[in-house]
Amino acid sequence: MNIPMERSNFGELLSYLSTRKTDMVAQVRELVVRESPTHDKQACDSLASSLAADFQRLGGRVKIQRQKRAGNHLQVDFEGAKARSSILLLGHYDTVYDLGTLKTMPWYEEKGRLFGPGVFDMKGGIAQIMFAIQALKDLRGDLPRPLTVWLVSDEEEGSATSRAFTERLARQSGAVLVCEPSGPRGALKTSRKGVGTFKITVTGQASHAGLDFEKGQSAILELAHQIRAISRLTDLRRGTTLNVGVIRGGTRTNVVASQAEAEIDLRIARKSDGAMMERKVRKLRPVNKHCNLSVEGGVNRPPMERTKQVAALFQLARKIALAWAFR
């Protein structure tokens, strides 16, 4: 993919954006003072419609994906100079902060930094999207290629209602740029581990620890065996980890436990490892044949692998950034 923009234009772009700094800060503020916790549909919808108006002013075609319970999702399509595959700018406008957080965590600016609920994750990113589009339009008169902005309302709670839309839009696009905040020192993410969760439930046989200890089949002891087996599945070199993060079980000290369970977090670096790890966890068998084992769960987010295409896209972004940074 090549984004046509001559080297000389980047200095112009930077100085243009520098002159818009006050407006950018005002824009971030505007988004932050409109609180938008994921679970508050009314608050989310209200921000979504104000965003819709902003993007309409930028010349985008707004499509609101109405939701019954979640806040409405926002799709904005922009035409490009050439009819090539479009770029998807992906983000979310919900935050983890409840309504009223502004009272205890107010908006303010200090020493060139902005503070307030959602400034970092990711209302600042939304403002960046807006000004990037505005800058290209003001300086070039148009966008080099079609662009779709997709802002969802439920990212902080797992994207249940937006995921299918996001996947479809991503498949239709030539590239997807996630406008979430960067990593430490401004690093761009070019890969990310996949995530899964499992729950293992062990059923044994309860008995009184004093009267008939031998009749009991301890679910806790069995779970302990399983936890050891699970931890042996971790392969750090491969980037596969399993973490038993929560355990529960038993009722009293004088009762052999009939129930125990563990919740497990799985991380994988490669897509193909997902199915393999699911198989391995499901293949766990009780050490004590009198106990029963049930396994639920699996991979819920595949990893983003650093494919050749991802690396090439990063190199392109890097080249563009260097071109103007050292003018």
Nearer to Zn ion among residue 122 and residue 151 (C-beta): 122
Distance CA 313, CA 85 (A): 14
Residue from 94, 121, 222, 278 in contact with Zn ion (CB under 5 A): 121
- How many residues are given for the chain? 327
Site size for Zn ion, by CB under 5 A? 3
Nearer to Zn ion among residue 181 and residue 297 (C-beta): 181
Task: Report how far apart, in Å, the C-alpha atoms of 160 and of each of 43, 88, 115, 300 are.
Answer: 18, 20, 29, 11
DSSP conformational letter for 217: B
Residue from 47, 119, 122, 266 in contact with Zn ion (CB under 5 A): 122
- Please, which of residues 230-289 interact with Zn ion by CB under 5 A? none
Closest residue by beta carbon to Zn ion: 121
Helix (H, G, I), strand (E, B) or coil at 235: strand
**Is the separation of the CB atoms in 270 and 239 below 8 Å?**
yes
Interface with Zn ion by CB under 5 A: which range of 66-74, 115-123, 295-303, 318-326? 115-123
Binding to Zn ion by residue 222, rule CB under 5 A? no
The first and second tokens of residue 186, run together, are 């401004």
- Please, which of residues 177-196 interact with Zn ion by CB under 5 A? 180
Interface with Zn ion by CB under 5 A: which range of 114-122, 195-203, 245-253, 259-267? 114-122
Nearer to Zn ion among residue 40 and residue 180 (C-beta): 180
Task: Report how far apart, in Å, the C-alpha atoms of 8 and of each of 14, 84, 133, 141, 326 are.
Answer: 11, 24, 19, 16, 11
The first and second tokens of residue 239, run together, are 């980037």
Nearer to Zn ion among residue 119 and residue 223 (C-beta): 119
Interface with Zn ion by CB under 5 A: which range of 8-16, 49-57, 120-128, 162-170? 120-128
72 φ/ψ angles, rounded to the nearest 5 degrees:
-70, 145
**Is the separation of the CB atoms in 229 and 286 below 8 Å?**
no
Query: Which residues would be at the binding site for Zn ion (CB under 5 A)?
Result: 121-122, 180
